[in-house]
Structure 1
């Protein structure tokens, strides 16, 4: 169900050096195009991912949000996705 012409909601540039941008990945410099797409069915982690977790919008915006445990700017990326969808 990917749109015919998908457009990223943001572009994140990750740097191995902390403080260069809000996005940090100690492994490498990387550019990330981030999309919001609908998902149907089951999902499973692949490649170098060890775990995949789903969170509801209310849970992400709540007092004990899992966003507080995300580092390297990943919390900012999720917040941008929520804002793009009108949830934040």
Structure 2
């Protein structure tokens, strides 16, 4: 497993967003081998009055490899409007 924890604050027009990409283990007991399964996930949350709105995900995607997750994290930072409507 490759540990991954990327966090960036992104400004789009007059709004701020947290772009977060992490690695995490899957814990579903009903699939063989899930104890060792790792997925990578990118999520985007709006920041309002310096508070991250964790309860309202704007973008969410999972990946099978860290390279996929890192690439999309970078793509979101470069062109956020292609991934979510600000």
Q: Pick the TM interval, shorter chain.
A: under 0.3
What's the TM-score once normalised by structure 2's chain length? 0.27
